[in-house]
Structure 1
Amino acid sequence: MAFRHYNQNQLVLFPHTFDDLIPMDHPVRIVNEVLDKINISTLLDAYRKEGNPSYHPLMMLKVMVFAYMENMYSSRKIEKGMRENVLFMWLSNMNIADHNTIARFRSQKLQTAFKDVFTQVVLLLAEEGLITLKQIYTDGTKIEAQAGRYTFVWGKSIKTNKEKMLKQLEELWKYAQSIASDEDKDPEPPEFREINKEKIQKTVESINQKLKGSKIADKKGGAKAKAKLNYIRNNFEKNLDKYQQQEEILAERGSYSKTDTDATFMRMKEDHMKNGQLKPAYNAQISTENQFILNYTLHQTPADINTLASHMENFKDNIGQEKFCEIESLTADAGYGSEENYELLEKLEIEAFVKYNTFDKEQNQNYQSKNKTFSKEHLHYNQEKDFYVCPMGQRMEKNHESCQTTKTGFEQTLSHYKAKNCQGCPLRSMCHQSKENRSIERNHNLERHKELTRKRLKSEEGIEKRKKRCYDVEPVFANLKHNHHFKRFMLKSLKKVEIEFGLHALAHNLRKKVA
């Protein structure tokens, strides 16, 4: 039988090189080529001049990005790859960093520099003509945090516990008043509206004096009252300190996890029970074009509607004012449809193809016929004289305006209209259920934006963009989660998960470039 020559001890005149073993079109060469073009001065600033020489940050960056392209996220597996994998050996030039060095590089050295690295790669993709930075598609998804699912703190629970503390103080104070002698009774009760240390101390001292000075305390449950007083004295101030610390961590959020205080509990779609359980998570927002990720941000709020302003501000800071002004349109789903977001995009001179919450329902003929006559959206409005006309032809004059502020601080102006006389109207039961005359409130600025958006979305361009959104931004999340198993963060804290998501985003862009 004929076999190829095999001798492990055979000497060769010219030793083999890793370069001979790697195909010219292999993705590792793309990583090497692209990252060689970027400026890493911001990354160099993360290193100190003193101490032992460090591994070169460009080498570490290349290894890290390529590892994420290969679905290799563990620092120990990356270290193993640098020892055993030809691709990593070629990329690192036979340098082998231990897993602790790799972990520190990812979580510390990249903290301030990675977004700049990512943006430079995006601009390189634009120079190559793979993207234009003109038509962008924005969407968000929730990714589970590396935190305990049952180590939660809820803002509403803190509020409830404080109210219970106030109630216990008030009940004990009333009991002390009931058994105190006439001369020891307080003429005016203290205000039990807001609890603080000073109020606890004064109230406890006052109750204690009344219980000590009363001769009938033992006959009327005095022992139980004294036990409650001791519990209040020993625990209430400590609990108040604990609640204050928790409220500082919460800030404007409704919840957080004790094992990752930056993570907020959000309702997740992906769940083993398929019932959408609440889990600690982060809200990841991306903007894409041709399935390339142009920008990403991580948020602690579960609602997409409140993320667009900071996401666009971050985008502008990264690519610069000049490039940002080249953006022509933004397409997003109804989760972003709000007056604040429409105003923002109008101010930025970006054409908004963003659905509002009832747009899809309006396309249903049954919805239109059901609401055509009596809904406030279909009442005739005289813009010149500023009044509405009810289905019976009665004028509904504006009686006042009101202002309200959203959670993000955006001010909305509402106009209120009321009919003069609905009594005896044959259509009253179908028109409204109020016992008084019908009244409506309208946000004219929001209605103006909705009308403009309705025309855009129904145009040929709008229909095309609505179709493209489904296969531009959404497949990116599907690819990251299902093909590359990125369903849960490995790192903790907002700053670190931003780096982790950024590595996934950059790896996705380079994989897309190779494809």
Structure 2
Amino acid sequence: MFKNYTTNQVVLPLDFSFQLEKNDIAFAIDQLVESIPEERFIPFHHQMGPASYHPKMMMKMILCAYTQSVFSGRKIEALTKDSIRMMWLTQSYQPSYRTINRFRVDPLVNALLRECFVQFRSQLVKEQLIDEEAIFIDGTKIEANANKYTFVWRKSIDNFDKNLTEKSNFLYDELLKNQIIPEIERESEKELSVTELGKIEENLAHIVEKFTDKIEQAEDGITRKSIRSKRKVPKKLRKLFKDFKERKLAYQKHRQILGQRNSYSRTDPDATFMRMKDDHMKNGQLKAGYNLQIATNSQYILGYDLFSNPTDTRTLRPFLATLKERFFELPTYIVADAGYGGEENYQAVLEDHERTPLITYAMYHKEQKKKCKQNPFLPANWSYQELDDTFLCPGGRKMTFRNYSIRTDKYGFKRYLKRYECEDCSNCPLRSQCTKAKSNKNREIQKNMNWEYFKAKIQQLLSEEETGKLYRQRKIDVEPAFGHLKACLGFTRFSVRGKQQTHNEIGFALMAVNLRKYRINKLSNKNNSPKKLKNRRLKIIFMIFGLLFYLS
């Protein structure tokens, strides 16, 4: 006997929510999007054209697709026709892939995603799934939707521009020397600007026109041939200077796109070439990508931002500003790895934000080793005489203060250094082990007192039990979030181009990671409820008594 099955029978449509499991992820998505205040959707209102799909429905649909590792617009459209979960969230609407793609790259969606993270964090705090004591920060590289071989390098642009400048200056000097064109007013003697190259091209064009007029007026063929031969040089030079002008303009455009970066992709100019863990050529080749920074607590992603800078050191300050401005008030502790350790970042956390940094620096773990602590030739192990402002070297000689100096890096940050010099290194038996300076010079050291203060502060914090335990939690808090994003969700490459568009897409992907984890936690809490735990204990007790009775 079989259950009734007739495909031709008419069935009345029912509410799809009855066909979903009680703890289905669709309910979490629906609850999250519905928690967004209504005023956030006002910018989407319009009075012209046909009625559009509600942004709530579009948000739910895209979030649901991303939780199922579906990132393609066409595949999302297919889900609206096949998935019961998607049918319930969209109320059986079926937007086209063009509508889906246009919505997820809309600049207005950025505010909705930001509100999603704010509301989700509030829900986590309310349910006591996270604490507000600390955030854990780390970054990873995500490959851009760009060709691997469309790179533009700053160093190449500088070299090409240098060669162009030398060649154009040489040709201009030759033109003046041979009195072919008159001298033009120059802004700089070092190089010719685009405007000046244009003037030279115009002067050469006038000379070519004069020769052309003479050729047309000449009646004798031999005369015309003679004039044509004279016209060849200015005509060739005019073409060269036109090419110089176009190349100069192209180099200026490249530099404008580069900004402070060293490279960019022609396919996606906002993407920078970075070293990825996935090396397709197995030779350390770089790929176009973005630097994703996230802040987590209990493995939930609470805030994020995208950067074109491949190094984490330069991203901490703007990322903290983004978190404070768009997501939440910064907690007491900012926890990160040694990639963020630096004087500028410590100063920003301690002084600008008035928070406590639990961030190691590059040499922290090495300095904790016995070999480093017992090395008498390291200046960090030398005794300091505060009254005399001197250090005592291993040979027992004084390192006296000489002068102050200021070192400014290419980003404009200033470091204030103090220079110390040994009173006399001559005839020192430890000289060969202590310094590599020339025989007629004494050993010198430089001390950044601000940096030394920050290092001592970090060493003290990490040596304490509470803060040290909090720092050790970093590895099991922020690192799994990247594993869930790349390995579990399968999001390893952007499908859109441009920083604004990629920022929206990564927002959907990170929120999908949060929703998946939230559902798993809900299911685990349900399975570990007091009633079920009690039933398990009773079963175990009965099994033990049964076993004892059998053995007896």
TM over 0.5: yes
> Which residue does the alignment assign to 2:348?
344
| Residue identity matched to 1:254 | N
| Residue identity matched to 1:165 | L
CA distance in 1, matches of 2:83, 2:332: 45
Matched, 1:196 2:193: yes
For these two proteins, the number of residue pairs brought into alignment is 493
Q: Which stretch has the larger CA shift, 485-494 or 198-207?
A: 198-207
Q: Which stretch has the larger CA shift, 341-350 or 292-301?
A: 341-350
Deviation at 1:257, TM superposition (A): 0.7
Deviation at 1:251, TM superposition (A): 1.3
Deviation at 1:428, TM superposition (A): 1.2
In the alignment, which of 437, 441, 450 is matched to residue 455 of structure 2?
Answer: 450
CA distance in 2, matches of 1:426, 1:185: 71
Give the greater-gyration-radius structure (CA).
Answer: 2
**Residue 136 to residue 192, structure 1, CA distance change in 2 (3 Å):** same
Gap runs ≥5 in structure 2: 207-229, 521-552
**Residue pair 1:390, 1:396 contacting (<8 A) in 2 also:** yes
Q: What secondary structure is seen at the aligned counterpart in 2 of 1:306?
A: coil
> Which residue does the alignment assign to 1:281?
289
> Which residue does the alignment assign to 2:422?
419
In the TM superposition, 1:31-430 aligns within 5 A as 31-108=29-106, 109-172=108-171, 193-200=190-197, 229-320=237-328, 323-324=329-330, 327-347=331-351, 348-369=353-374, 372-430=375-433
| Residue identity matched to 1:331 | V
Q: What secondary structure is seen at the aligned counterpart in 2 of 1:32?
A: helix
CA distance in 1, matches of 2:202, 2:85: 74
**Residue pair 2:117, 2:327 contacting (<8 A) in 1 also:** no
**Residue pair 2:200, 2:241 contacting (<8 A) in 1 also:** no
> Which residue does the alignment assign to 2:435?
432
Deviation at 1:200, TM superposition (A): 3.9
Deviation at 1:148, TM superposition (A): 1.4
In the alignment, which of 487, 496, 500 is matched to residue 491 of structure 1?
Answer: 496
**Residue pair 2:61, 2:89 contacting (<8 A) in 1 also:** yes
Deviation at 1:40, TM superposition (A): 4.2
Q: Note the alpha carbon deviations across 1:296-335, whole angstroms, 9 max, x for none.
A: 0100101100111111111111235xx43xx111111110
Q: Note the alpha carbon deviations across 1:380-406, whole angstroms, 9 max, x for none.
A: 222343222222222222221122233
**Residue pair 2:422, 2:442 contacting (<8 A) in 1 also:** yes
Deviation at 1:3, TM superposition (A): 2.4
**Residue pair 1:43, 1:112 contacting (<8 A) in 2 also:** no
Q: Which stretch has the larger CA shift, 482-491 or 404-413?
A: 404-413
CA RMSD of aligned residues (A): 3.0
In the alignment, which of 20, 27, 32 is matched to residue 22 of structure 1?
Answer: 20
**Residue pair 1:269, 1:276 contacting (<8 A) in 2 also:** no
TM-score calculated relative to the size of structure 1: 0.88
Q: What secondary structure is seen at the aligned counterpart in 2 of 1:100?
A: helix
Q: What secondary structure is seen at the aligned counterpart in 1 of 2:507?
A: helix
| Residue identity matched to 1:455 | Q
CA distance in 2, matches of 1:373, 1:79: 69
Q: Note the alpha carbon deviations across 1:212-270, whole angstroms, 9 max, x for none.
A: xxxxxxxxxx9998787445322111111111111111111111111111111111122
**Residue pair 2:204, 2:234 contacting (<8 A) in 1 also:** no
| Residue identity matched to 2:323 | F
TM-score calculated relative to the size of structure 2: 0.82
Deviation at 1:208, TM superposition (A): 12
CA distance in 2, matches of 1:224, 1:363: 74
Gap runs ≥5 in structure 1: 210-221
